Amino acid sequence: MIDFIGDIHGHADKLEELLLKLGYSKPNSFYLHSNPNRKVLFVGDYIDRGPKIRETLEIVKSMVDNGSAIALMGNHEYNALCFHFQETDGGHLRKHLIKNIIQHYETLKQFQNRQEEYEGYLEWFKTLPLFYESENFRAVHACWDDKIINFLKTKLVENRLNDELIYESVKKGTPLNEAIEETLKGKEIKMPEGLFFNDKDGTVRTEIRIKWWENPAEMTYKEISVEPLRNLPETKIDLNFFKNSEYYKEDEKPVFFGHYWLRGKPLLKRENICCLDYSVAKQGYLVAYSFNGELTLLSNKLTFVENLE
């Protein structure tokens, strides 16, 4: 009995509204459900962008600390760790480029004069598992690929990163780097020659995030892109991009994830595929799915609140 909740990005008011709608209350210092067997699983991305990042972290961490929630790491928490970690020869693991500073700006601003508190949360981020699996479901921030998850099980410490692994994870082209990138940021393929688009932050991109639950052999570039880009052609994909990759099959366990900034009213992608990120930080929705062990997911189990700000 788990309520999966998507990317919050500092929108604590919407989180509290959603929790109340799901039947949680706060009799003491943390939210819990009236049914003691019911808890939340947060799929990551608690920080950056929104107006109440500290409050969001307080809600999520207090629930985790008191056993009423499980929290996974998102790419924004991972990026924050790398932004903070110093390289041995100067600088930081995540470069302090303008675009990176802008991405973290709201978080840093809201922790101004609270350095110790912020560093405490950074330590907490390292306790967050990168994925979670039970007998009935799987959960991850961006992408579940069995080969990659099995590799991470051999590398991580109880599915978590420690300092040594964080330093290793930023080395481009290493197996750990590629595994972290796909698990927390999703699979990407290059667009056909000469094509590009501007993402939600205005950054020019030549690679598209793909629907890793679709068979690439049956998809065009336009169909497999998570984002509905007008300039993508209705031509078959170059399958060389998928030599060592598998797609998530229809007969596998239900999988829950966030990350993709979907637009419009929340809906299921497939009967075992549930993306919970509907752009709460871009006047979208904060979304939950109330799971009771069903093998086939149901649209009427989605609950959401709209952010009109």
Query: What is the radius of gyration, based on Cα positions, of the chain?
Result: 19
Total number of domains in the chain? 1
d(CA 211, CA 215) in angstroms, rounded, equals 9
In terms of C-beta density within 10 A (0-12 exposed, 13-18 middle, 19 or more buried), how is residue 212 classed? buried
Q: Is residue 242 assigned to a domain? A: no
| pLDDT tens readout for residues 201-224 | 777 888 889 999 999 888 899 999
Kindly state whether residue 228 falls inside one of the protein's structural domains. Answer: no
Strand positions, DSSP E, 158-295: 188-190, 197-198, 204-205, 207-209, 255-257, 273-275, 277-278, 285-291
Q: Name the helix (H) or strand (E) containing 217.
A: none
- Is 299 a member of any domain? yes
Tell me what pLDDT residue 243 has: 67
Residue 292's pLDDT is what? Answer: 96
List Cβ neighbours of 249 (8 Å cut-off, separation of 6 or more): none
**Domain of 179, in residue numbers:** 2-186+249-306
CATH code: domain of residue 169: 3.60.21.10
Q: How far apart are CA 157 and CA 49, in angstroms?
A: 30
Q: Is residue 212 part of a domain?
A: no
Question: Is residue 255 situated within a structural domain?
Answer: yes
User: 268: left (phi > 0), else alpha (psi -120 to 50), else beta?
Assistant: beta
Rounded-to-integer distance, Cα 44 and Cα 140, Å: 8
Q: Tens digits of per-residue pLDDT, 257-297?
A: 999 999 999 999 999 999 999 999 999 999 999 999 999 99
The pLDDT assigned to 155 comes to 94
Q: Does residue 41 sit within a domain? A: yes
Predicted pLDDT at 198: 78
Question: Is 203 a member of any domain?
Answer: no
| Whole-model pTM over 0.75 | yes
Kindly provide the residue ranges of all beta strands, DSSP E only, lying in 171-279, ordered along the sequence.
188-190, 197-198, 204-205, 207-209, 255-257, 273-275, 277-278
Compute the distance between CA of residue 44 and CA of residue 60 in angstroms, rounded to an integer: 10
Distance (Å, rounded) from C-alpha 245 to C-alpha 238? 13
Reading the block at residue 244, the tokens are: 């060592």
For position 90, what pLDDT does the model report?
65
> CA-CA distance, 119 to 116, in Å (whole number)?
5
Bridge partners of 210, per DSSP, are 225
Q: How many CB atoms lie within 10 A of CB 88?
A: 6
pLDDT, position 48? 93
pLDDT tens across the length of the chain (309 residues): 999 999 999 999 999 999 999 999 999 999 999 999 999 999 999 999 999 999 999 999 999 999 999 999 999 999 999 888 777 666 776 667 777 777 778 898 999 999 999 999 999 999 999 999 999 999 999 999 999 999 999 999 999 999 899 888 888 889 999 999 999 999 998 888 888 887 767 778 888 899 999 998 888 999 999 988 888 888 888 787 776 678 999 999 999 999 999 999 999 999 999 999 999 999 999 999 999 999 999 999 999 999 987
Domain assignment present for 231:
no
CA dist list (Å): 138 to 6, 82, 141, 244: 14, 26, 10, 21
Beta strands 32-33 and 24-25 are antiparallel
